[in-house]
Amino acid sequence: MNAAQDLYPSRVEKEENILERVDPIVYGRPEPAREHALSDAQMAFFEDNGYLVLPDWLPDMVDPVREELTHLKRKLKGREELVLEPDSGNLRSIFAVHEHSEMIAEVARHPKVLNLVQQILGSDVYIMQSRVNIKPAFRGKSFPWHSDFETWHVEDGMPRMRAVTAWLMLDENTEFNGPLYVIPGSHKHFVSCEGKTEQDNHKQSLRQQMAGVPSPESIEALTEKGLKGIYGKPGTLVIHECNLLHGSPDNISPWPRSIAMFVFNSVENRNQRPFSGLRPRPDYLSSSSQEPVRTASEET
Amino acid sequence: MNAAQDLYPSRVEKEENILERVDPIVYGRPEPAREHALSDAQMAFFEDNGYLVLPDWLPDMVDPVREELTHLKRKLKGREELVLEPDSGNLRSIFAVHEHSEMIAEVARHPKVLNLVQQILGSDVYIMQSRVNIKPAFRGKSFPWHSDFETWHVEDGMPRMRAVTAWLMLDENTEFNGPLYVIPGSHKHFVSCEGKTEQDNHKQSLRQQMAGVPSPESIEALTEKGLKGIYGKPGTLVIHECNLLHGSPDNISPWPRSIAMFVFNSVENRNQRPFSGLRPRPDYLSSSSQEPVRTASEET
């Protein structure tokens, strides 16, 4: 892979620059609409804004996932899949939850998740990463503006923008508990960031991201249409385009904010060697298992 | 002043405890309503919730105050009245703005401010403190839950709850730029905090408050009715009861949040010796000038 082939160079020791996206946002699928398919209006909203909020989408999954977390905290104690808060040492994230829990894998394979994701990406997909994020009450820390794709491209070798994150609210997400803010429309651009990537950057970046954070000037340029806070009751599903800029403030409220996230990448966009030239991140961040995921009905 | 006379003991090396407020919230004034008086419904809302938001109240004052700040930053350079952000060194607050700027003093004396304050407190009032708070874009830090009265009582010797803060939005205050969150109804209780006060605590507390911060358990107990974010356009005036619990998250947005604040204390509640037993805080935090403030029309 030489530099000429890198459509989205970032952290290549050049000045920060805003490039245009060259990939489609919605790939579509030339087949009859399946169960739970998104409407044309929903697809258009996603294409334009880079996210879609589906209230009351999987309310029955919330309690089972929450119960499963209790087991996973014990089961994975001491392993890298558990990430702690920088100051308090509280649990912040559990990774690879779909690999360690059959019940959580069922959420990812649910037709109310998988059918929409395939509809947007226009192909079979695999689970590149899964996690539960827990933003604790009173102490949850803020996270700066970033594009997931920027990290996945540089550090995991995701070639093009053909991935989405589907995430399920496990707590109510409100204006008060450190919610996700997104920059609608920002997925149509690519901020090529300054600096370069250190080996094992993820050991720092999962706690507090430093590399791959656009400058204030770029954020100002991209927020002309304002910000949007992603709020909803437990059971709300959010579809989040891989290159959408997002961040979150700290959580000073008395309510934690937990979500379960699944990153789906197109099988036509499988991760290759990291564009940083460094060795790939661990399997729990970028799965080496790139098998298409199927709904239960497709498997039978 | 002995302990038996202290109706609101705090930081007296006892366990944290939630006491009931013994003072009125609205003192009223047995005289005909004056210009800009609050309605009965507004007074009832304030009594019940501890705050009142008045949109589009003083829009013409915003630009003149903002211009005045440019002069004040230069004029007060190097003085204690300027407080910086703990990490970035950016300007966070300017104190005693009504003493250093005749134009800003005019805002405090404006009948659309002073008449309401006198109506609530039922007496003449003096300006105990004034300040401009600037929460910078991207870097503005969060501030933990606290009651202003708790600090003013312990550190400045404010005897009873008979004071309000009137604050004017100089920027739009939104859900995104580190807004003030209040706990409606919390002003009806008093959280007697643990610990004790160190001499010159204000040198720390103005940057990052540690003493006088209620425990998570107390905040949980007092937030049964939820939180409220105080949002509005520039020119919005907010009346804030002295004992209302409030806090604010950090500001990761590209928009600063600036406000001008005036603390009005009843002349029947003048600050005495600090209940901590330590020496009083500097004049710019608790003014030794306790002369009643008059509107321009009253003075002529």
Interface test with A, best of B142, B175, B223 (most A CBs within 10 A): B175
- How many pairs of residues across A and B have Cβ atoms under 8 Å apart? 55
Angle at B63 between CA B60 and CA B68, to 5 degrees: 125
Contact B254 A178 (CB under 8 A): no
- Phi, then psi, of B183 in degrees rounded to 5: -105, 95
Residue partners of B266: CB distance under 8 A and separation at least 6 = B27, B121, B122, B123, B124, B125, B162, B163
What's the confidence (pLDDT) of residue B126?
98
pTM confidence score: 0.92
Crossing angle of helices B111-121 and B40-49, in 10° steps, is 70
Whether A220 has its CB under 8 Å from any CB of chain B: the answer is yes
- Does B253 sit within 8 Å of A227, measured CB to CB? yes
- At residue B73, the pLDDT reads 83
A142 touches chain B (CB under 8 A): yes
Percent of chain A topping pLDDT 70: 93
Set of chain A residues whose Cβ sits within 8 Å of the Cβ of B223? 253-254
Residue A268: Cβ within 10 Å count: 14
CB distance from B181 to chain A under 8 Å? yes
Which of A90, A138, A186 to mutate to probe the B interface, most B CBs <10 Å? A138
Contact B250 A249 (CB under 8 A): yes
Tell me, what amino acid is at A17? N
B136 touches chain A (CB under 8 A): no
Q: What is the pLDDT of residue B199?
A: 78
Average pLDDT, chain B: 91
- Does residue B252 come out as left (phi exceeding 0), alpha (psi in the -120 to 50 range) or beta? alpha
Q: Which of B138, B227, B251 sits opposite A253 (nearest CB)?
A: B227
Alpha-carbon radius of gyration of chain B: 18
Please report the pLDDT score of residue A141 as a whole number.
87
Phi–psi pair at B125, nearest 5 degrees? -135, 160
Q: Which of B204, B168, B250 lies closest to B83 in space, CA to CA?
A: B204
B1: pLDDT strictly greater than 50:
no
Q: Which of A29-33, A286-290, B256-260 has the lowest mean pLDDT?
A: A29-33
**Three-class SS of residue A8?**
coil
With a cut of 60, say whether residue B282 has pLDDT above it: yes
Burial of B30 (0-12, 13-18, 19+ CB in 10 A): exposed
Structure-token pair, residue A273: 């060697």
Q: Quick one: B166 exposed, middle or buried, by C-beta within 10 A (0-12, 13-18, 19+)? A: buried
pLDDT exceeds cutoff 50 at B202? yes
Least trusted range by pLDDT, from A25-34, A142-151, B40-49, B129-138: A25-34
DSSP state of B173: B
Q: What percent of chain B has pLDDT over 70?
A: 92
Classify burial at B60, counting beta carbons within 10 Å of its beta carbon; exposed 0-12, middle 13-18, buried 19 or more.
exposed
User: What's the confidence (pLDDT) of residue A1?
Assistant: 45
Are B242 and B121 a contacting pair, CB within 8 Å? no
The reply to whether residue A254 touches residue B223, judged by beta carbons under 8 angstroms, is: yes
Q: Given an 8 Å threshold on Cβ–Cβ distance, is B254 in contact with A181?
A: no
Compute the average pLDDT of residues A261-279: 95
Which has more pLDDT, A298 or A21? A21
Q: What is the predicted pLDDT for the residue at A3?
A: 47
Round to whole Å and give the CA distance between A168 and A116: 14
In this structure, what is the dihedral angle of CA atoms A82, A86, A91, A94, given to the nearest 10 degrees? -30
**B229:A181 CB<8 A:** no
Q: What is the pLDDT of residue A2?
A: 45
Closest Cα in chain B to A141: B250
pLDDT at B84 over 90: no
Closest CA in chain B for residue A143: B252
Q: What is residue B32's predicted lDDT score, i.e. its pLDDT?
A: 67
Select the residue of A142, A176, A254 nearest B252 (Cβ to Cβ).
Answer: A142
Mean pLDDT value of segment B119-139: 95
Q: Which CATH number fits domain B17-282: 3.40.47.10, 3.30.1360.120, 3.40.50.720, 2.60.120.620?
A: 2.60.120.620
- ipTM tops the 0.85 cut: yes
Cβ separation of B229 and A138 shorter than 8 Å?
no
